[in-house]
Amino acid sequence: MKRGTYVLIIFSIFFLLILVTVASFVYIGLSKPPSVKARSYLEFRLSGEVLEKSPGKTLMDVFTGQEPLSMFDIWMNIRKAKVDRRIKSLVLRLGYLQCDWAKIEEIRGSILDFRKSGKKVYAYVEEAPEFDKEYYLASACDRIVLHPLGWMGINGIGGYVPFFKKALDKLGIEAEIEHVEEYKTAYNMFTEEGFTPAHKKMMQFLYSDLFSHYVKGLAEARGKSEKEIKELIDHGFFQGEKALEAGLVDKLLFEDEFEELLKEKGGKIYKMTHRQYLKIKPESLGLNKGKKVALLYGMGPIYSGEGAYQTMGSATVARWIKSARKDKSIAAIVFRIDSPGGSALASDVIWREVVLAGKEKPFVVSMSDVAGSGGYWISMAAHKIVAQPPTLTGSIGVISGKFNMARLFEKLGITSEKITYGKKSDMFSPFRKLTPEEKRVLKNEILWIYDQFLTKVAEGRNMSKEEVDKIGRGRVWTGSQAKERGLVDEIGGLSHALELAKELAGIPSDEEVRLIVQPKKPSFFEAYFGRRLPGIKSDLIPELERMLSAYKLLEREKALAIMPFWSALE
């Protein structure tokens, strides 16, 4: 090895040691619990991506100040603030939130629960051109304050669903997809040029329910009729005085004026940020102690094998459930799910552990934004299933197929030679079409899996297979609609799921429990250098990114129990 190479290696090691040392000092500094002064307010800056449970700061996050919001952290901080006599109020500084409606409902419920303590909650908005979800959250606060020059838009929900069939035709790519049944529309974006009747019916039914819930919530919060709220939504956009005149906000204040409002004619007040307050241990406030309850997070697409943050590896999640089942000190299990589904086989591996755990201790599922198809498969054996009104769930169906790229390869001048042993050994090859016989085989296989799905839902929900099939067939429901049809037991969030788990375990409702959370907090190196997650990441527009992810998933797992669409309903 040349001398220059040795120097480069030594320099690289030295630089890495410096980096680790700096990160260590930053970590130690950030980990030190802050001093919470009397007459403090807790400030949440709610904008950007919202995950169920954040993997923690990477090294880059430390220096850029970027980190996704964590639902668990928000939930726990609000619980702490409610009983902390030093915290006098909450302040929500609202920007654009990247999440679906159920997470908004979860935070909103926590805010309403906090207000039962008699403490105030304020929402401050500078400017928000499209603000429906965020305004729904703000409506839970005592006062909504807008910057005098702020522009605020509440213009309803909806959007466009892209279809890529014509684009794929031009490229020479054919999506050969078999699905069960007519509402299982996950890959319609590749096989259709627009909505099928079933697809459109389902989407309209979902949007209508979400919009109705949104309007009703705003009407109750702002003291208006639903007709008045709909008229304001149709108007769409309001600036400063117009928003105040319409009764959408309570005050127009500059930043310094807002700080005076927070004093509420009192003396000096002190700000405590959400990130700072995370370092205050709940045990110091009388929370998170007593009998143990396992809180397990199932997040992201479901794959076979090991998983990581924001993906659900069947081996990993099954191991968590098995460990909680065998731990005699754990009184109950709460499984928090935020997943569009994925591999049918991987879902069944997790389902089996849910069944076994349910035979030994109470098992409650809490659904977040989405728990459909495979996400419902892993839920259906629980003693109780809890969902928010806007949760997307159900989607009991199966899909399989492949992408035939023969014409694309021909256009690109790519040729191939065939060597096969076995009549169907190249069935899933992208170099040729499926034969009619192979399509029949594929359809029969997924029909069998669908029958298994129906059987297990029927057993778990005490229904007949015929009843399940009527509400199955790949159809997605909101949490409210799912409850009406017996797929969900109760409406509520994580707090309600915990109360149910305590009740089933015979733990008094006024008694605290200690949460044993999985996945655990990442190690120093995992948090600061980051764990690379499996799957495709790109800077493409969301629709194309979803298209590539859908292709990758179908390549990896041949039979999918996955939602008909992955996009948020805006």
The yes-or-no answer on residue 400 being catalytic is no
Phi/psi at 473 (5° precision): 55, 25
Determine the straight-line distance between the first and last CA of the chain, rounded to whole angstroms: 59
Please give the Cα distance from 556 to 550 (Å, whole number).
Answer: 10
Q: 143 Cβ partners below 8 Å, 6+ apart?
A: 120, 122, 123, 250, 251, 261
Q: Given 70, 366, 373, 379, which residue is catalytic?
A: 373
* 479 and 488 Cβ atoms separated by less than 8 Å: yes
Per DSSP, the three-state class of 45 is strand
**Lookup: tokens for 317:** 């999640």
Taking CA 348 as the corner, what is the angle to CA 370 and CA 398, rounded to the nearest 5 degrees?
Answer: 65
Q: Count of residues for the chain?
A: 570
Q: Mind giving me the DSSP string for 397-464?
A: -EEEEEEE-HHHHHHHT-------SSTTTTTT-TTSPPPHHHHHHHHHHHHHHHHHHHHHHHHHHT--
Mapped onto helix, strand or coil, the DSSP state of residue 472 is coil
Angle subtended by helix axes 197-222 and 226-235, to nearest 10: 110
Mapped onto helix, strand or coil, the DSSP state of residue 541 is coil
159 backbone φψ class: left, alpha, beta (φ>0; ψ -120 to 50): left
Cβ 122 vs Cβ 141: under 8 Å: yes
- What is the strand order of the sheet 302-303 is part of? 174-180, 398-404, 559-562, 341-343, 302-303, 312-313
Cα 9 from Cα 7, distance rounded (Å): 6
From its phi and psi, is residue 148 left (phi > 0), alpha (psi between -120 and 50) or beta? alpha
Do 250 and 261 touch, CB atoms closer than 8 A? no
Beta bridge partners, 69, equal 50
Return the C-alpha torsion angle 260, 263, 269, 275, nearest 10. -80
Q: Please state the φ and ψ torsions of residue 422, each to the nearest 5 degrees.
A: 120, 130
DSSP 558: S
In whole angstroms, what is the distance from residue 135 CA to residue 123 CA?
Answer: 9
Strand-pairing partners, residue 518, are: 296
> Which residues are annotated as catalytic?
373
